[in-house]
Amino acid sequence: MSSKLLIGYDVERIPGRVPGEKWVGRKVPEDSTSVFLKKIVEVHKELQVPATIFMVGCNIEKHLAELEKCLASGMFEIAQHTQDHYPLKTVVEETGSRVFLRGLDFDRMEEQIGRPVALLKKYLGVECKGITAPYTYYRGLSDRPDILEIISKSGMVYTRSYGRNSLDYFPLDWGIQPFFYDRQGFPGILECPVQGWLDAQWRHDNGWEKWEEYHSYLKAQVDRLESMNMCWSHLQHDWTSILFDENLHWTRKFIEYAAQKMEIKTYYDYYNWKKNG
């Protein structure tokens, strides 16, 4: 059976805060979200390939026109990336950039997770089915049943929160495949781990302009996974996608290549396939 590819775009540019320009080492266009949303819809329409957009809640109202176009194309699922992009868990990288990020206080969790669900419903009529967690974590939310409970209460059925290895870094091995949070008492919530290198970290470490090399890395993963009957959850951001590639040339090239060899689904379609399969 062919492997599955889930493409998720974290749409999160918050000028002055996300991404940290000090960490990026350069200026990132303030209008990244607009530029990205206007162009990505054309790419997916043209290639007839589905994807999921994970929006930070605080930007939903500012980008309704673009998001409506994405929905109208029939190619996109829209889900969320929390209200303001704070880490849900503390990150302590033991290698690489050795970043330390303090996790959000629990008393703000409900607001940060619940608000985007309400906004997507109110402004776009979208039932938000999933959440991608800012920065991703080792073991995802396996050790946080308290957060899973909030996610479950908000009506969501999948998370994408496991993106780091035991050094709280990258890459995450492909052996970490999607799993339901049965042991935590939430058998209805599917975790879709983000394997490999996060695009931002690979490009931060190797050079933001090195699209060709990054593309080769992605292609090699497609070739390797093609016949392994696995699921690969791939992550790109609004701002990374247009950085040194405003016309999404490389993003299009990757999707074209992957679509020949893997079955591409939205996260929610994958959830349903997994649940019923």
Binding residues for Zn ion (CB under 5 A): 10, 12, 134
Pairwise CA distance, residues 275 & 277, whole Å = 6
Give the shortest CB-12-to-Zn ion separation in angstroms: 4
**In whole angstroms, how far apart are CA 267 and each of 61, 157, 270?**
23, 10, 5
User: Of the two residues 12 and 84, which places its CB atom closer to Zn ion in the complex?
Assistant: 12
Listed residue (108, 178, 102, 196) closest to 140, CA to CA: 178
- Do 242 and 32 touch, CB atoms closer than 8 A? yes
Give the shortest CB-11-to-Zn ion separation in angstroms: 9
Give the shortest CB-132-to-Zn ion separation in angstroms: 7
User: Of the two residues 92 and 101, which places its CB atom closer to Zn ion in the complex?
Assistant: 101
Pairwise CA distance, residues 14 & 228, whole Å = 38
User: Of the two residues 3 and 136, which places its CB atom closer to Zn ion in the complex?
Assistant: 136
Give the shortest CB-55-to-Zn ion separation in angstroms: 11
246: amino acid identity, one letter:
E
Other residues' Cβ atoms within 10 Å of the Cβ of residue 7: 24
b/e code 130-140 from CB counts within 10 Å (16+ = b): bbbbbbbbbbb
User: Of the two residues 3 and 83, which places its CB atom closer to Zn ion in the complex?
Assistant: 83
Pairwise CA distance, residues 178 & 223, whole Å = 20
Give the shortest CB-148-to-Zn ion separation in angstroms: 19
Give the shortest CB-83-to-Zn ion separation in angstroms: 12
User: Of the two residues 10 and 66, which places its CB atom closer to Zn ion in the complex?
Assistant: 10
**Angle at the Cα of 265 (from 223 to 60), degrees rounded to 5?**
120
Pairwise CA distance, residues 151 & 109, whole Å = 10
User: Of the two residues 3 and 191, which places its CB atom closer to Zn ion in the complex?
Assistant: 191
